[in-house]
A and B are shown apart, each in its own frame.
Chain A
Amino acid sequence: MDTRTNNVSLGDLQGIVGEANAREANGSDEIDGVRPSFVAEPGSVEELSALMRFANDEGLAVAPRGGGTSSSLGNPPRELDLIVSTARMNEVIEHVPGDQVVRVQTGIRFQDLQERLAGSDQMLGVDPPERAAGATVGGIVAANSSGPRRHRYGTIRDLIIGVTVVLPDGTVAKAGGKVVKNVAGYDLGKLFTGSLGTLGVIATANFRLHPRPEAARTVAVELGDSAAAGQAAQAIMHSQLVPSAVELHWGEGHGLLTVLLEGITPAAEAQAEEAEFLLKGFGETRTLSDEEVDDLGPYAPPGSPGSGEEVALKIAFPPAELTGVLDSTLGACSRRGLDAPRITGQAGIGVLYVGLSGGDEDARVSVTEELREIWVRRGGSVVVRGAPLSFKRRVETWGRWAPGSSSPAA
C-alpha cells in the first residue's frame, strides 16, 4: 500500500461521508490494474468538498467515478488512493418543463433521468451507448460520451449550460446558469466536458432539453463497398433532410447505413420516403422494423466487454473522407492478419468506432499506428478507447497531435 495512505484510516473518511459510505477498495474498484485504497461516496456538494479538501491535505491521489463505465478511458492512473463515487448524489434538483431545462446532481444515472424527463415529453438529446451499462450524467459529461443522435443535437458539450464543480482543493465553484442563453463569465462547463475527472469533480450540471419526438422511422441502405458508403452518407448530408442520426454499421463483409428520422408522424414518414429515394442508387433500401432497430442499437460500442474484441479505437476524420477511413482501416487489418473489424459510428459527423480482433498484439499495435499516421496527417485523430494494459503501455492513448495543436492531456 502506498505510504501516503498510511496516515489515513477508513475512519477518517467515514467521519466525512458517514460510516456506511466509505469502505476499503476491492478488485472491482481497480482502474487499469491500479487498485485504490478506499472508496468514498459523499452525499452532498458539502461532503464532496470536505472529502476533496481532506484528500488534498493528505496528498491522496483521487479519481472521481460515476457509473464506472468509462473508467479505463485515457492513460492508466499513475497513482490512485481514493475513488470518489458520485453514486449517492443522484437527485434531480430542478426541472421546469416550461423552461426545457433540468438541473441534476451528476451521480444520477442517465437512464433514470431520461425516464423522468419522458414524463414531461422531454429528453436530454444525447444517447451514448454507455447509458445501457449504467453510465451517470456526470460520467457522460466527464468522458464526453456521445451516440448516434449527436448528428442532430450535438454532444453533451453543446447541451450543458451550467455546472458546479469541486476542485481538487475542495473549492466549490460554479459557472453558467439555468438559462439556455448565457455569456456571463467563462464557460467552465465546456472546459470540464471530456476532462475525465482531471480538473475536479463535476457535482451538479444543468442542461438544455429538447421535446421528445412523436415518431421515429429508420431507413437503411445495404452497401456493397466503401465507395457506396461514402456516397450514400454524402447524399444524406447534403440533402434538406433533418435526420437525427446517420449511422454506419460495418462488419463481416456487409455494410449498412441507417438514417433515423424523427418528428411528428407525417413528417417522419415523409422524410423517410425521401431518404429512401435518395439512397436507392447506392444499394437496396428498406425501412427497418422496430425489432431490427433494437438489434442495431443501443449497440455495444466496439471493444466493450463481451464483444470479443481486444482493442477499441475511435477515429475522427473530415466527414467527406468516410470512404478513405473505411479503406485504410479494412486494408490495414487485412494486411496485418487481423479479423475483419467491426465498425460503427456517425458517418455524417466523421466519427467511427473500430473494434480490432484476431492477430497478435504486434499486429494490432501496427494497425493502430498506421491509422494514426494517416488520419492525424489528414486533420483527424485516432484514440485508443479500450485495450489491455499491455497494449496501452505500447501505444499512446491519445495519439500524436496535428502540427501546432495544443498538447494532449489526461
Chain B
Amino acid sequence: MGMASSRLVDRMTEILGPEGVISEREQLRAYECDGLMNYRVIPEIVVLPETAEHVQRIVRYCHDEGIPFVARGSGTGLSGGALPVESGVLIVLSRMRRILEVDIPNQRVVVEPGVINIWVSQAVADEGYYYAPDPASQIVSSIGGNLAENSGGVHCLKYGFTTNHVMGAEVVLPDGTMVNIGGGKAPDAPGYELLGAFVGSEGTLGIATKITLRVVRKPASVKTLLAAFKDTEEAGDAVSGIIGSGIVPAAIEMMDSLCIEAVETAVHPGFPQAGAVLIVELDGPEAEVSSQFDQTIEICEKANASEIRIAQDDEERALFWKGRKAAFAAMGRIANDYYVQDAVVPRTELGATLKRISELGSEYGMRVANVFHAGDGNLHPLVLYDNDVPGEAEKAEDLAGEIVMTCLEHGGSLTGEHGIGRDKMKYMPKMFTTEDMDTMQLLRCAFDPHHICNPGKVFPTPRLCGEKPGPFHMHPVQKAGLAENF
C-alpha cells in the first residue's frame, strides 16, 4: 500500500474511527462489484459513515485532495453503477439505516439512505400505509440506491417510479456542501426541479443523506389472477386488450415457457405448463376492482387463455408473486450462467420485439428466457449460457446487446430500471446524439466540475468540464446561475 493511501486511511480513521474503515485487500474484495459481476474493481478504501456529517467530511476531504469516490447502498444494482474506482474511496451507506420519522398525517416517512426498501412499508403497515415502489430486490436494496437508480418495480405501472415518491432529499454535493433539494413535507419547492434531475442520476451528482418519501394508503381491495396462454403473442393480445379497455392494472407481468420452467424448478409456485403466463393485479376501490376484474377475465378468455387462476387469499397471491420475483435467480436452475438484460419498447411493439428476440436466440444458438413488465413494455430477457464453455460469455453479452439494439429500433430505451451504470455506457451514443449527451454533461459539470463523483459511469466519453461543447460559448445552465465553473 502506497504512501498516499496510508494518509487516506489515517484521515478516514480520524473521521470514522477504525471500525468505519476497511483497507485490507482481502476485505476490500467483498466490495469489488455490485449485482453485476462482470465488472470488478478493488477500491483503495471502503468507508462506512454513520451520519450525514461523516459523509460530508469524507466527501469534502475527497474534494480537497482530488480523490474520486463512489457511493454504494446495498450493492444490488444490476448495471455496475456502484462499481468502485481504482485508487478511489467507496462510501458504503449501509450503516445509515435509521428511519428518522414516520409522519402519517402528512403521509411522509423520512429515512437515511441505507434503509431497506421494505422497511418503509413495514414501518407504516399498522397505519394502513405502504411505500409503493417495489423493485424485485426490495428486501435487500436500499432507499438511497433506489433513489440513485430511480427504481421501478412490478407496481410502477399504476403507482409510478421512485421519482414519483421521493419528495425531498438532503444531499452532500461533490464539493462537500450539504443542501436540501425538493420540498419534503410540503410540495412545490420554488426554484429549479433539481430533485427530478437528481433522482435517477446514478450517483453522479452527489450523495443523498436524508430522504423524504411519500407513502400511500393501502387499497381497499386487491384481486390477482394468473392466466396461461399458448404463447407470448396470445398473452400479448390479452395485455393490449386490458390496457385498451381503459383499465390501469396495479401490475401486469408476463413470463414465457422457459421462465415458467425455471421458476417451477426453483420455488414451486404451481404455475401451469404453458407458452406464457400473465399475472394481472388490480387494486383500488371495491366496486371498481370487482367490475374491472370480471372484465379482465373476459379479455383473457377472449385471448384464448387455457387456464385462469384467481388468487383466493393473500397467501395464494403471495405465491404468484413469489414465482414472479424469483424469476432471475431461478435461471440458475436451468443454466449455469445467465445475463440479465433490461430494455424497454412501446407497449404496442412488444409482439414484434419478442419475435425478433426469439429469432436472435436461434441465430446465436442460445436460449433466451423472457420475463417482463408487460404493462409498460419493460423487458427482461435472460440470456442463458455456460461460462465454462470458452467464448459463451462474450457471445451472451453480444446477443444481449443485439436485443437492446432491437428495442431501440422499435422506439424504446436502453434501460427501464437497471440504469446505464458501467454496463451500458457504450450504448448511450445509439440512443443519444453528442449534443444530447453534452447537454446532460452540462448538468453533471454544474454539480461535479472536477469529475470525482462516481466517475466513469453513464457517459461513454466524459467531457472535461473545462471543455466547451458546441461552437458557442454561452452555457444556459451557467447563464442561469446554476453553475459558475465549467
- A residues with CB within 8 A of B: 53, 56-57, 96-101, 121, 144, 154, 157-158, 165, 167-175, 177-195, 198-200, 210-212, 214, 234, 237-242, 263-264, 266-267, 269-271, 314, 316-320, 349-351, 375, 378-381, 383, 398-399, 401-402, 404-410
Q: Tell me whether B220 is interfacial, beta carbon within 8 Å.
A: yes
The reply to whether B194 and A179 form a contact with Cβ atoms under 8 Å apart is no
What are 22 A-B residue pairs whose CB atoms fall within 8 Å in the complex?
Answer: A96-B346, A96-B348, A99-B377, A144-B188, A171-B435, A171-B472, A177-B412, A181-B344, A181-B376, A181-B378, A182-B415, A183-B200, A187-B197, A188-B443, A191-B443, A195-B192, A240-B285, A264-B287, A264-B291, A314-B188, A317-B186, A405-B189
Pick from B63-71, B177-185, B251-259 the stretch touching chain A: B177-185
Residues on A with C-beta less than 8 A from B108 are 318
Which residues 444-486 of B sit at the A interface, judged by CB distance below 8 A?
444, 458, 469-477, 479-482
Q: Tell me whether B199 is interfacial, beta carbon within 8 Å.
A: yes
The reply to whether A175 and B160 form a contact with Cβ atoms under 8 Å apart is no
The reply to whether B347 and A242 form a contact with Cβ atoms under 8 Å apart is no
- Determine the distance from Cα of A57 to Cα of B436 in the docked complex, in whole angstroms: 21
Q: Tell me whether B175 is interfacial, beta carbon within 8 Å.
A: no
The closest CB in chain A to the CB of B239 belongs to: A98
- Determine the distance from Cα of A155 to Cα of B412 in the docked complex, in whole angstroms: 24
Distance in Å: Cβ of A146 to nearest Cβ of chain B: 8
The reply to whether A200 and B476 form a contact with Cβ atoms under 8 Å apart is yes
- Determine the distance from Cα of A318 to Cα of B471 in the docked complex, in whole angstroms: 46
The closest CB in chain A to the CB of B468 belongs to: A169
The reply to whether A349 and B187 form a contact with Cβ atoms under 8 Å apart is yes
- Decide yes or no: A199 and B287 within 8 Å by CB, A188-B439, A404-B180 being known contacts: no
Q: Give the one of B193, B194, B291 with max A CB within 10 A.
A: B193
Pick from B19-27, B99-107, B136-144, B360-368 the stretch touching chain A: B99-107
Q: Pick the residue among A238, A320, A351, A383 that contacts B190 (CB under 8 A).
A: A383
The reply to whether A320 and B413 form a contact with Cβ atoms under 8 Å apart is no
A-facing mask of B153-194, CB < 8 A → 1, else 0? 000110011011000001000000011110111111111111
The closest CB in chain A to the CB of B347 belongs to: A99
Distance in Å: Cβ of B171 to nearest Cβ of chain A: 9
- Determine the distance from Cα of A240 to Cα of B219 in the docked complex, in whole angstroms: 6
The reply to whether A267 and B291 form a contact with Cβ atoms under 8 Å apart is yes
Q: Pick the residue among B183, B201, B440, B481 that contacts A379 (CB under 8 A).
A: B183
Q: Tell me whether B244 is interfacial, beta carbon within 8 Å.
A: yes
The closest CB in chain A to the CB of B127 belongs to: A238
Residues on A with C-beta less than 8 A from B106 are 318-320, 350
- Determine the distance from Cα of A398 to Cα of B188 in the docked complex, in whole angstroms: 11
- Determine the distance from Cα of A210 to Cα of B157 in the docked complex, in whole angstroms: 11
- Determine the distance from Cα of A180 to Cα of B163 in the docked complex, in whole angstroms: 13
The closest CB in chain B to the CB of A173 belongs to: B439
The reply to whether B287 and A187 form a contact with Cβ atoms under 8 Å apart is no
Which residues 242-256 of B sit at the A interface, judged by CB distance below 8 A?
243-244, 246-248
The reply to whether A409 and B192 form a contact with Cβ atoms under 8 Å apart is yes
Residues on B with C-beta less than 8 A from A406 are 179-181, 191-192, 194
Distance in Å: Cβ of B236 to nearest Cβ of chain A: 11
- Determine the distance from Cα of A75 to Cα of B12 in the docked complex, in whole angstroms: 45
The reply to whether A98 and B443 form a contact with Cβ atoms under 8 Å apart is no
- Decide yes or no: A267 and B285 within 8 Å by CB, A185-B432, A185-B458, A200-B476 being known contacts: yes
Residues on B with C-beta less than 8 A from A318 are 103, 106, 108, 185-186
Give the number of chain B interface residues (Cβ < 8 Å).
101
Residues on B with C-beta less than 8 A from A185 are 420, 428, 431-432, 436-437, 440, 458
The reply to whether A194 and B193 form a contact with Cβ atoms under 8 Å apart is yes
Instruction: Add 7 more A-B contacts to A318-B185, A351-B188 (CB < 8 A).
Output: A169-B472, A184-B420, A184-B428, A187-B201, A191-B197, A242-B284, A381-B190
The reply to whether B346 and A101 form a contact with Cβ atoms under 8 Å apart is yes
Residues on B with C-beta less than 8 A from A320 are 103, 105-106
The closest CB in chain A to the CB of B201 belongs to: A186
The reply to whether A402 and B180 form a contact with Cβ atoms under 8 Å apart is yes
- Decide yes or no: A167 and B191 within 8 Å by CB, A157-B196, A178-B346, A181-B344 being known contacts: no
The reply to whether A234 and B105 form a contact with Cβ atoms under 8 Å apart is yes
The closest CB in chain A to the CB of B376 belongs to: A181
Residues on B with C-beta less than 8 A from A398 are 190-191
- Decide yes or no: A316 and B188 within 8 Å by CB, A154-B164, A242-B285, A263-B285 being known contacts: yes
The reply to whether B217 and A172 form a contact with Cβ atoms under 8 Å apart is no
Residues on A with C-beta less than 8 A from B219 are 240, 242
Q: Tell me whether B76 is interfacial, beta carbon within 8 Å.
A: no
Q: Pick the residue among B179, B191, B415, B477 that contacts A184 (CB under 8 A).
A: B415
Q: Tell me whether B373 is interfacial, beta carbon within 8 Å.
A: yes
- Decide yes or no: A181 and B419 within 8 Å by CB, A318-B185, A406-B194 being known contacts: no
The reply to whether B432 and A182 form a contact with Cβ atoms under 8 Å apart is no
Residues on B with C-beta less than 8 A from A97 are 244
The reply to whether B192 and A194 form a contact with Cβ atoms under 8 Å apart is yes
Residues on A with C-beta less than 8 A from B217 are 238-240
The reply to whether B189 and A180 form a contact with Cβ atoms under 8 Å apart is no
Residues on B with C-beta less than 8 A from A171 are 435, 438-439, 469-470, 472
- Determine the distance from Cα of A237 to Cα of B161 in the docked complex, in whole angstroms: 21
Distance in Å: Cβ of A241 to nearest Cβ of chain B: 7
- Decide yes or no: A169 and B476 within 8 Å by CB, A98-B244, A318-B106, A406-B179 being known contacts: yes
Q: Pick the residue among B156, B348, B411 that contacts A98 (CB under 8 A).
A: B348
